[in-house]
């Protein structure tokens, strides 16, 4: 199957229409199709769109950051939390020094316990992307071997 490198700009909105993120006015996103560099639902819907296309893409939660899982919410004794100092609702931190360790959000705090949510903040949220496809080109052999795009023109290597 032929895979492309796609460059696009976007504005991301939640179901209420609030802007959550945008690349407009900044650097566009360049990714290798099927390499897991953007959420699955967006990757799938961008495939086959030509450069210059403006589109509104609806990505259901299951194809974005997944559905919320209540099993990902845990209440722990304060002494087990690897963060010193005061914690407040909304604080986010990585659970270990390993760069792949989960990031959790504090959802409740009392004197003895802290409740943490390991769901992605956008889990369970259907997303709307307003996209402009800027460029589409065939992936190079190096990009396919390395599993990521090497920039919009294919020459720049991003490690």
Quick one: average pLDDT of 76-89?
90
Quick check: 103 and 113 in contact, CB under 8 A?
A: no
**What local confidence, expressed as pLDDT, does residue 2 receive?**
87
Mean pLDDT over the full length of the chain: 93
Quick check: 34 and 15 in contact, CB under 8 A?
A: no
CA pair distance 118, 27, nearest whole angstrom: 29
Is the pLDDT confidence value at 159 over 50?
no
Q: Which of 17-21, 56-60, 99-103 has the lowest mean pLDDT?
A: 99-103
Handedness of CA 44, 47, 52, 55 (dihedral sign): negative
Quick check: 152 and 30 in contact, CB under 8 A?
A: yes
Q: Which of 25-39, 53-67, 72-86, 144-158 has the lowest mean pLDDT?
A: 144-158
**What local confidence, expressed as pLDDT, does residue 107 receive?**
96
Is the pLDDT confidence value at 33 over 70?
yes
- In tens, the pLDDT along 140-157 reads 999 999 999 987 776 665
**What local confidence, expressed as pLDDT, does residue 102 receive?**
87
Is the pLDDT confidence value at 53 over 80?
yes
For CATH 2.40.10.330, the residue range(s) in the chain are 70-117
Quick check: 150 and 158 in contact, CB under 8 A?
A: yes
Percent share of the chain, pLDDT over 90: 81
Is the pLDDT confidence value at 82 over 80?
yes
- In tens, the pLDDT along 93-112 reads 998 888 888 899 999 999 89
Question: Considering the domain 70-117 in this protein, what is its CATH number?
Answer: 2.40.10.330
**What local confidence, expressed as pLDDT, does residue 98 receive?**
87
Q: Which CATH class is domain 4-65+123-146?
A: alpha beta
For CATH 3.10.50.40, the residue range(s) in the chain are 4-65+123-146
């Amino acid at each position: 199957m032929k895979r492309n490198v796609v460059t696009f700009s976007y504005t991301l909105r939640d179901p209420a229409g609030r802007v959550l993120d945008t690349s407009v006015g900044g650097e566009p996103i360049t990714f290798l199709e099927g390499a897991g560099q953007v959420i699955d639902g967006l990757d799938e819907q961008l495939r086959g769109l030509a450069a210059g296309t403006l589109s509104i893409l609806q990505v259901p939660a299951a194809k974005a950051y997944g559905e919320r899982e209540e099993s990902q919410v845990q209440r722990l004794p304060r002494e087990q939390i690897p963060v010193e100092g005061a914690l407040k609702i909304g604080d986010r931190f990585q659970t270990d020094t390993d760069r792949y360790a989960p990031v959790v959000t504090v959802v409740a705090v009392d004197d003895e316990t802290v409740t943490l949510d390991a769901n992605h903040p956008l889990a369970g949220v259907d997303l709307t992307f307003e996209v402009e496809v800027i460029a589409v080109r065939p992936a190079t052999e190096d990009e396919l071997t390395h599993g990521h795009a090497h920039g919009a023109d294919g020459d720049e290597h991003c490690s």
